[in-house]
Amino acid sequence: MSTALNTLIRAMHFAAVKHREQRRKGEAADPYINHPVAVAHVLSTEGGISDVVTLCAAALHDTVEDTDATVADLQQLFGEDIAAVVAEVTDDRSLSRAERKAAQVAHAPHLSDRARLVKLADKICNLRDMLSGPPTDWSGDRLREYFDWANRVVAGLRGLNPALDAAFDATYARRVELR
């Protein structure tokens, strides 16, 4: 097995172990691991991304933010490049939700290319999840606010991958379907 493929499989496994008890907020309460796998899948199949650092970072993108994993863990297990991309897309949990959301908008244009791709695929997947099974306690207004905020984040991510830009635009356009 190639070293790159081995690294990607290890990253997927690590993410699966770390997220094993977590569920998504949507109606179906899907296993959380479905989300990082979907982000990597969007990058690979829709964006044509084959860079193993970017795909591993996609698989690991929520581990530091949502589990007990640290950037140091990722550095040790997967190397500096992958850990650095994950660190770039990790929200600072010491900030309030409003501050985290504002920081994502402000920081998006300043991310590395790899982090911009991961963040863009993450937003595509989040919006698709909201369309297919939004959290039951979210009103239509809250869903539309989320879509509009995601659009503001993505404004700073555009231009690297036209296919992913188009996938986001197509998904965002479906916001009219929200309850």
pLDDT over 80 at 176, yes or no: yes
State the pLDDT at residue 104.
98
pLDDT over 80 at 132, yes or no: yes
Domain residues of the chain, as ranges? 3-177
Of 7-11, 29-33, 148-152, 154-158, the one with minimum mean pLDDT is 29-33
State the pLDDT at residue 1.
67
pLDDT over 90 at 179, yes or no: no
The tens digit of pLDDT for each residue in 37-81 reads 999 999 999 999 999 999 999 999 999 999 999 999 999 999 999
The tens digit of pLDDT for each residue in 95-104 reads 999 999 999 9
Mean pLDDT on 2-30: 93
Q: Find the catalytic residue in 30, 46, 51, 65.
A: 65
State the pLDDT at residue 28.
84
CATH superfamily of 3-177: Hypothetical protein af1432 (1.10.3210.10)
Q: The whole model's pTM is what?
A: 0.96
66 is catalytic: yes
State the pLDDT at residue 151.
98
Q: Find the catalytic residue in 51, 66, 81, 91.
A: 66
Tally the C-alpha atoms within 13 A of residue 155's C-alpha that lie toward its C-beta. 10
Alpha-carbon span 111 to 117, nearest angstrom: 9
Alpha-carbon span 112 to 134, nearest angstrom: 30
